[in-house]
Amino acid sequence: MSSTFTVRISKDLKERMRKLPVEWSEEVRRFIESRVRQLELAEKIREIEVRAIKRNVVVDSTGLIREDRER
């Protein structure tokens, strides 16, 4: 199911858009989908950072590298 989202633009912009061979509804749809994915990903990253801070996990990478090299 879909719904309608309305955006108000100036008459000048609408006229300029009309002169171009672009499917504007598809362009806007793709942009919104991409932006929503970006924002959702950023939110997930913030959630992971908060959980990591709460767990207070600190890893010394040099120790892990040395351990791996000794194998």
d(CA 15, CA 27): 17
Give how far Cα 28 sits from Cα of 5, 7, 59, Å. Answer: 10, 10, 44
Considering the domain boundaries, does residue 46 fall inside one? yes
Residue 2 resides in a domain = no
Q: Looking at the 3D structure of the chain, how many domains does it have? A: 1
Model confidence over 7-16: pLDDT tens digits?
999 999 999 9
Q: Is 56 part of any domain?
A: yes
Model confidence pLDDT, tens digit, residues 15-53: 999 999 999 999 999 999 999 999 999 999 989 888 877
Print the domain residue range for 47. Answer: 11-70
Q: Look up the pTM and report it.
A: 0.67
Report helix, strand or coil for 35.
helix
Contact 28/7 with Cβ under 8 angstroms?
A: yes
Does residue 55 sit within a domain? yes
